[in-house]
């Protein structure tokens, strides 16, 4: 069980949902976890529960990221944070496109840049990138989200090439619909929006839970040290990708 190989971890998007649950699982396995998110109050509560080291940082602020996190030795990096927005590129705003590129893609690259050299030098490390089935399949809407998650898929494969010959493992977790706050935040983040999102996207559906995703991350980390679990695509049994649209346009 390679948990004993690792001493430290860093998890982004750690204040809620899959990130918070991942921090709890890693801490329960004896890992010192650095928890990164914007919500300082939630991070403090998480730190009290788990002993995690909180870092209230906006992932889109690269200067602040480097100032706060450079010098930390990280054995397991979990790039979990992600943002989305309704609509497609036809009606996307500059702000929503920039936010998705900044958090979903740029932060992943910079955090990897910051921590991977130390892993390579120590000949030990594991990067877990939480992408999405949106990075593997096309469906309507969320154009920038699809693009950034597809990039995370390619980054995950490329890191393995960049570190060949080193004991560096890279795992991509590509979930389908998970019961998180993301849809509620897309609708504005108010209690009413959260209720509307639950009723629209989760009520009556057998969606994935945060526990399902954490179990997948746990499986990949706990695999024997000679085993790299490269890609885990996880969807609810009743959710499938696919379908082909051929639109008829009459003269």
Q: Is 18 helix (H, G, I), strand (E, B) or coil?
A: helix
Q: Which helix (H) or strand (E) holds 53?
A: strand 53-56
Q: What's the rounded Cα separation, in Å, for the pair 83 and 175?
A: 14
Q: Which residues are catalytic?
A: 145
CA 150 from chain centre, in angstroms, equals: 13
- The pairing of strands 231-234 and 76-79 is unpaired
Residues forming a β-bridge with 12: 36
Hey, which bits of 122-230 come out as E strands? 125-130, 168-175
Name the phi and psi angles at 124, rounded to 5.
-165, 130
Q: What's the rounded Cα separation, in Å, for the pair 218 and 216?
A: 5
Question: Within 13 A of 83's CA, how many CA atoms are on the CB side?
Answer: 23
Q: Which helix (H) or strand (E) holds 79?
A: strand 76-79
- Say how many C-beta atoms besides its own lie within 10 A of residue 62's C-beta: 17
């Amino acid at each position: 069980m390679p948990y004993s190989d690792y001493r430290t971890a860093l998890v982004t998007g750690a204040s809620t949902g899959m990130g918070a649950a991942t921090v709890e699982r890693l801490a329960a396995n004896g890992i010192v976890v650095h928890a990164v998110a914007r919500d300082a109050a939630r991070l403090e509560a998480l730190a009290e529960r788990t002993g995690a080291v909180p870092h209230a940082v906006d992932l889109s602020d690269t200067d602040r990221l480097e100032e706060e996190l450079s010098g930390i030795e990280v054995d397991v990096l979990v790039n979990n944070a992600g943002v989305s927005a309704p609509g497609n590129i036809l009606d996307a705003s500059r702000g929503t496109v920039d936010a998705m590129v900044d958090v979903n893609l740029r932060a992943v690259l910079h955090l990897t840049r910051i921590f991977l050299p130390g892993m390579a030098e120590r000949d030990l490390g594991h990067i877990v990138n939480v992408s999405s089935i949106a990075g593997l399949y096309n469906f309507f809407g969320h154009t920038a989200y699809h693009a950034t998650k597809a990039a995370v898929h390619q980054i995950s494969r490329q890191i393995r090439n960049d570190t060949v010959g080193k004991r560096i493992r890279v795992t991509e977790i590509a979930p389908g619909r998970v019961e998180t706050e993301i849809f509620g935040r897309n609708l504005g983040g108010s209690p009413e929006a959260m209720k509307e999102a639950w009723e629209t996207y989760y009520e009556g559906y057998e969606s994935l839970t945060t526990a399902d995703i954490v179990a997948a991350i746990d499986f990949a980390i706990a695999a024997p040290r000679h085993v790299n679990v490269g890609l885990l695509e996880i969807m609810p049994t009743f959710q499938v990708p696919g379908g082909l649209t051929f639109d008829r346009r009459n003269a």
